[in-house]
Structure 1
Amino acid sequence: MVEEFTVKISSLKRSRKIRVFLPNEYENNDKKYRVLYMHDAQNLFQDEDSFFGTSWRILDCVKKSGLELIVVGIDCNGEGTKRFDELGPWISDKRINEGLFIDKSIDLGGEGEQYIDFIVNELKPLIDNKYRTVKSDTAMAGSSSGGLISTYAMCKYPSIFNRVAALSNAFWLCQKEIENLAEKCDLTNVKRFYFDVGTKEQTATFGPDVYIDSNISFKNVIEKKGLHYRFEIVEGAEHNEVAWRERFPEILKYLYQGE
Structure 2
Amino acid sequence: MRAFIAILAILTLTVPVGAGAAHRPDPVPAQIVRGTPDVPHGRLDKYEAFASRFVSARNVWVWVPEGYDPRGPRLPVIYMHDGQNLFETSTAYGGQEWGIDEALSAMGQKVIVVGVWNSPTRYADYFPQKLAAYLPPEMRAQVTDMAKGELKADDYLRFLVSELKPFIDRTYRTRTDAAHTSIMGSSMGGLISLYALGEYPQVFGRAACVSIHWPLMAPPTTPEAREAAADATAQAWEAWLRTAHFDPKRQRLYMDHGTRDLDSNYRPYSQKMETVLPRYGWVEGRNWRASVFEGTTHNEADWRARVDIPLGFLLAP
Q: TM-score range by the shorter chain?
A: 0.7 to 0.9
**2:76 aligns to what SS in structure 1?**
strand
Is there any run of 5+ residues in structure 2 with no aligned partner, and where?
A: 1-42, 218-232
After superposing the two structures, state which structure 1 stretch, 171-180 or 57-66, moved more.
171-180
**How far apart are residue 73 of structure 1 and its match?**
0.3
The answer on 1:8 being equivalent to 2:51 is yes
Q: Within 2, Cα distance between the matches of 1:110 and 1:103?
A: 8
- Structure 1 letter corresponding to 2:258: G
**Structure with greater strand share of residues:** 1
Change (3 A) 1:208 1:180: same
1:34–1:133 contact (8 Å) kept in structure 2:
yes
TM-score (norm 2): 0.71
Higher Cα radius of gyration = 2
1:35–1:133 contact (8 Å) kept in structure 2:
yes
Q: 1:129 aligns with which of 166, 170, 194?
A: 170
Change (3 A) 1:250 1:64: farther
Per-residue CA distance 1:57-94 (angstroms, 9 max, x = gap): 111121233211100000001x3xx1101111235876
Change (3 A) 1:94 1:59: farther
2:70–2:172 contact (8 Å) kept in structure 1:
no
**How far apart are residue 107 of structure 1 and its match?**
3.4
Is there any run of 5+ residues in structure 1 with no aligned partner, and where?
A: none
Q: Within 2, Cα distance between the matches of 1:35 and 1:103?
A: 33
1:169–1:215 contact (8 Å) kept in structure 2:
no
* 1:226 matched residue in structure 2: 281
Q: 2:260 aligns with which of 200, 211, 227?
A: 200
Per-residue CA distance 1:157-176 (angstroms, 9 max, x = gap): 12211111001111221735
Per-residue CA distance 1:123-159 (angstroms, 9 max, x = gap): 0001000111000020010000000000000011122
**How far apart are residue 196 of structure 1 and its match?**
0.7
- Structure 1 letter corresponding to 2:259: T
* 1:45 matched residue in structure 2: 87
Q: 1:36 aligns with which of 74, 78, 87?
A: 78
Runs of at least 4 residues off by over 6 Å = none
* 2:123 matched residue in structure 1: 84
* 1:179 matched residue in structure 2: 238
1:196–1:231 contact (8 Å) kept in structure 2:
yes
**2:148 aligns to what SS in structure 1?**
coil
Per-residue CA distance 1:165-199 (angstroms, 9 max, x = gap): 00111122173543322243332354321101111
- Structure 2 letter corresponding to 1:85: A
The answer on 1:239 being equivalent to 2:292 is no
The answer on 1:74 being equivalent to 2:74 is no
2:70–2:173 contact (8 Å) kept in structure 1:
no
Q: 1:147 aligns with which of 190, 214, 219?
A: 190
The answer on 1:215 being equivalent to 2:270 is yes
The answer on 1:120 being equivalent to 2:154 is no
**1:115 aligns to what SS in structure 2?**
helix
**How far apart are residue 105 of structure 1 and its match?**
8.4
2:144–2:150 contact (8 Å) kept in structure 1:
no
**1:218 aligns to what SS in structure 2?**
helix
2:123–2:147 contact (8 Å) kept in structure 1:
no
Aligned pair count? 246
TM-score (norm 1): 0.86
1:9–1:15 contact (8 Å) kept in structure 2:
yes
Change (3 A) 1:241 1:172: same
- Structure 2 letter corresponding to 1:234: F
RMSD over equivalenced CA pairs, Å? 2.4
**2:193 aligns to what SS in structure 1?**
helix
Q: Within 2, Cα distance between the matches of 1:246 and 1:139?
A: 20
Q: Within 1, Cα distance between the matches of 2:168 and 2:103?
A: 22
- Structure 1 letter corresponding to 2:310: I
Q: Within 2, Cα distance between the matches of 1:133 and 1:189?
A: 23
Q: Within 1, Cα distance between the matches of 2:88 and 2:272?
A: 34
- Structure 2 letter corresponding to 1:22: V
* 2:61 matched residue in structure 1: 19
